[in-house]
Amino acid sequence: MPLQEFKAYHAHLYYSDHDGLSEAQHIAHQVAELFDVSVGRFHEKKVGPHPMWSVQISFSSVILAEIMPWLIQNRGTLDVLLHPLSGDELWDHTQGACWLGKSHTLDIRQFLPKI
């Protein structure tokens, strides 16, 4: 992929139970108070390529240098998938992905060409 400037990013907070859900809600509330972000739905099921329950936080690249260190320090026990929005979802969720905490295997079949 040619070098490009990404305009936006997603951070997906992963959790697997109601305690983790509460922690994700607390973290999402804090990040929304501190930064110009959009917090998505708190899923209590696997959604898209994500192998666990999750919530998506969307934000502009303008705040990446601020929000990433904040997430590193404040993610608690949650794992976080951070990726750009390049227009190529397969690349975003694989080559462009950055993990805070443990990495997880994503179900990327939906991004593969249909044969």
Q: Tell me the per-residue pLDDT of 28-64, one tens digit each, with 9 for 90 and over.
A: 999 999 999 999 999 999 999 999 999 999 999 999 9
- The predicted model gives 6-26 an average pLDDT of 97
- The predicted model gives 87-115 an average pLDDT of 93
Confidence of residue 3 (pLDDT cuts 50, 70, 90): low
Rounded to 5 degrees, what are φ and ψ at 71? -65, -40
Considering the entire predicted model, what is its pTM? 0.93
- The predicted model gives 75-79 an average pLDDT of 98
